[in-house]
Amino acid sequence: FEKMPLNVKINGSARQLSVEPRVTLLDLLREQLHLTGTKKGCDHGQCGACTVHVNGRRVNSCLTLAVTTEGKEVTTIEGLAQGDNLHPMQEAFIEFDGFQCGYCTPGQIMSAVCCVREGHANSPDQVREYMSGNICRCGAYSNIVDAVMSAKN
């Protein structure tokens, strides 16, 4: 496949890239840019481990072709902290032990940030519903909900 130019802002940096049109955003991030914080769990939209933000909205990066992010802004887990200061949602996951093995955590946190930002964290049930696309094999769900509920404040 012929590569196409791709101008995209990733974690605040404007990048001029070249990608094949079949490449997913997930593979671009992990394989080409070595931003391996974003995880590949299922690679077909079922686990949420690959969740990132495109123009501030969460997407499953395994279901997003990289070329569709032309002119857009992508944020990954690597771009959430401000220098040495973790994002409040990252702090909350630490405080409430919102993980066990940690594999799903980047995706959980990227979803959780949107959950709060979009106003879906008014009750534990709302959080569970919004976060239902992020699977945790360890079953840390109750702590994840606690973390999200606490970080909304």
Contact (CB, 8 A) for 50 and 26: yes
| Binding-site member from 47, 121, 140, 148 for ligand FES (CB under 6 A) | 47
The residue range among 2-10, 42-50, 78-86, 120-128 that interacts with ligand FES, by the rule CB under 6 A, is 42-50
Radius of gyration of the chain from its Cα atoms, rounded to whole angstroms = 15
Length of the chain: 153
Is position 49 an interface residue for ligand FES (rule: CB under 6 A)? yes
Q: Does the footprint of ligand FES cover residue 151 (CB under 6 A)?
A: no
Size of the site for ligand FES (CB under 6 A): 12
> Of the two residues 96 and 130, which places its CB atom closer to ligand FES in the complex?
130
Stretch that binds ligand FES, among 15-23, 37-45, 75-83, 84-92 (CB under 6 A): 37-45
132 binds ligand FES (CB under 6 A): no
8 or 52: whose CB is closer to ligand FES?
Answer: 52
* Position 43 contacts ligand FES (CB under 6 A): yes
In this structure, the dihedral spanned by the alpha carbons of residues 26, 96, 129 and 46, taken in order and rounded to 10 degrees, is 30
Amino acid in position 123: S
* 4-10 and 13-19 strand pairing: antiparallel
Segment lying near ligand FES (by CB under 6 A), choices 6-14, 40-48, 79-87, 95-103: 40-48
Give the Å distances, CA to CA, from 11 to 29, 54, 124, 149, 152. 11, 10, 30, 26, 23
With CB under 6 A as the contact rule, the residue among 30, 40, 58, 87 that binds ligand FES is 40
Is 103 in contact with 83 (CB distance < 8 Å)?
no
Binding region for ligand FES (CB under 6 A): 40-43, 45-50, 60, 62
